[in-house]
């Protein structure tokens, strides 16, 4: 803590295990200052209270954390400190905005940028074993040792391209994604095929998905130990009345023994629950799918001109949302490209593009590949 006290930029990484638990189990914290001095902290050796000063240093208002593909690490931060960085410099995001691949790993990035070769043999090793092996310690050290150097190069590239504001927006959105996770009572909306279910069945799916999440969290087990998504869908579709019928729906014996009775009770409760105000959205019609492919080409061409990955410029979810808003005439209110860097980089090209289909025809939810229940 004394050595880090005056460091405003810290390279950070975590190693963890998440095989049979709901929460990731942190096994190691790696921290490096600008002088490449690396500190390996064993979070299992300290109480939550003892780790608080370290959290205060990491998340201080004047502190910038350098990380690569920070998503899962942010989950660890929330578990240990219930805090996230106010200033994040994610080198994977930075690299994607200056011409590198969207999901470039640290190993390849270091080799291409500064010629450093890293071994990834220990990626899936047991980070909760003690003592850690020399290979594990060396691997963990290398994950943060060069981040300052790489971040400096990427910062210069971002400045030169005039994309620092783009980068800061993307990092902020990543942090907000982990701060504002999908509420339990909205998890049912992620069941893509659920739009086929009747409204009351969707109410049951909402109830079951929420109950499964809360149970898995309380017991610190993976939610698939209770039921997979396909199992929950089959429950509300087939409405079994006894444990014997659960096996016919694909439930494993261990799931039936431990949770069979509860699943049947929760199914009944869900079928009696109020119908959700928001139903699971229908997929694109065939006509809309043609429009989607056409807009994908627009995105691809614009991404090539900007030198960024097409899926960074517009993800599938963002483009589908834009397309539906355009058909509904709510583009200004609902477009995912309003108010951010994509509004400048992409939206004008999308708005000016004439869709191949007739919008009124494409907006018919009951034609082509869709049918009413």
Burial code of 57-92, b = ≥16 C-beta within 10 A, e = fewer? ebbeeebbbbbbbbeebbbbbbebbeebbebbbbbb
- The topology (CATH level 3) of 286-362 is DNA polymerase; domain 1 (1.10.150)
Domain with CATH 1.10.150.80 in the chain: 184-271, 286-362
> How many other CB atoms sit within 10 Å of the CB of residue 3?
11
* Closest C-alpha to 163, from 65, 332, 307: 307
DSSP tag of 137: H
pLDDT along the chain (373 residues), means of 10: 90 95 96 93 95 95 96 95 96 97 94 91 89 95 96 98 97 96 97 96 98 98 97 97 94 96 98 97 92 95 96 93 86 75 91 74 42 37
Evaluate the CA torsion angle 317, 66, 108, 42 in order and state its sign: negative
Helix axes 147-161, 106-114, angle to 10 degrees: 70
Domain with CATH 3.30.420.10 in the chain: 9-179
DSSP 2-27: TTTTT-SEEEEEEEEE-SS-SS-EEE
Token pair for residue 249? 């729906």
pLDDT at 356: 85
Place of tokens 């890293």: 118
Cα 350 to Cα 281: distance, rounded to the nearest angstrom: 23
CATH of domain 9-179: 3.30.420.10
Residues 6+ apart with CB under 8 A from 109: 68, 91, 92, 95, 100, 150
Q: What would be the CATH architecture of the domain defined by 184-271? A: Orthogonal Bundle (1.10)
Cα 154 to Cα 49: distance, rounded to the nearest angstrom: 36
Displacement of CA 252 from its chain's centroid (Å) = 28
* Global model pTM greater than 0.75: yes
pLDDT at 359: 46
Helices (H) and strands (E) in the chain, counts: 18, 5
């Amino acid at each position: 803590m004394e050595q880090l006290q005056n460091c405003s930029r810290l390279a950070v990484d975590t190693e963890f295990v998440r095989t049979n638990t709901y929460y990731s189990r942190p096994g190691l914290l790696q921290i490096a200052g600008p002088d490449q001095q690396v500190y390996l902290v064993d979070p299992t050796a300290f109480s939550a209270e003892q780790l608080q000063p370290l959290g205060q240093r990491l998340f201080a208002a004047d502190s910038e954390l350098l990380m690569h593909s920070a998503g899962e690490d942010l989950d660890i931060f929330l578990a240990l400190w219930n805090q996230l960085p106010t200033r994040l410099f994610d080198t994977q995001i930075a690299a994607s905005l200056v011409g590198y691949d969207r999901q470039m790993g640290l190993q390849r990035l270091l080799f291409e940028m500064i010629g450093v070769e890293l071994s990834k043999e220990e990626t899936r090793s047991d980070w909760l074993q003690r003592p850690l092996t020399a290979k594990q310690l060396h691997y963990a050290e290398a994950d943060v040792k060069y981040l300052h150097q790489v971040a400096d190069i990427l910062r210069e590239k971002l400045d030169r391209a005039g994309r620092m504001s783009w980068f800061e927006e993307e990092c902020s959105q990543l942090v907000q994604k982990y701060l504002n996770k999908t509420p339990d009572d909205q998890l049912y909306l992620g069941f893509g095929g659920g739009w086929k279910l009747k409204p009351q069945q969707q109410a049951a799916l909402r109830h079951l998905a929420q109950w499964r999440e809360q149970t898995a969290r309380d017991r610190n087990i993976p939610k698939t130990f209770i039921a997979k998504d396909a199992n929950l869908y089959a429950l509300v579709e087939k409405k079994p009345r006894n444990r014997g019928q659960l096996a016919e729906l694909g439930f494993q014996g261990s799931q039936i023994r431990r949770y069979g009775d509860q699943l049947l009770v929760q199914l009944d409760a869900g079928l009696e629950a109020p119908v959700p105000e928001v139903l699971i959205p229908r997929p694109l019609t065939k006509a809309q799918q043609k429009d989607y492919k056409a807009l994908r080409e627009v995105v691809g061409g614009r991404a090539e001109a900007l030198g960024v990955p097409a899926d960074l410029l517009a993800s599938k979810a963002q483009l589908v949302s834009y397309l539906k808003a355009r058909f509904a005439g709510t583009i200004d209110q609902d477009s995912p490209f309003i108010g951010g860097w994509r509004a400048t980089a992409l939206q004008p090209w999308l708005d000016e593009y004439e869709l191949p289909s007739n919008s009124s025809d494409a907006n018919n939810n009951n034609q082509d590949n869709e049918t009413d229940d």
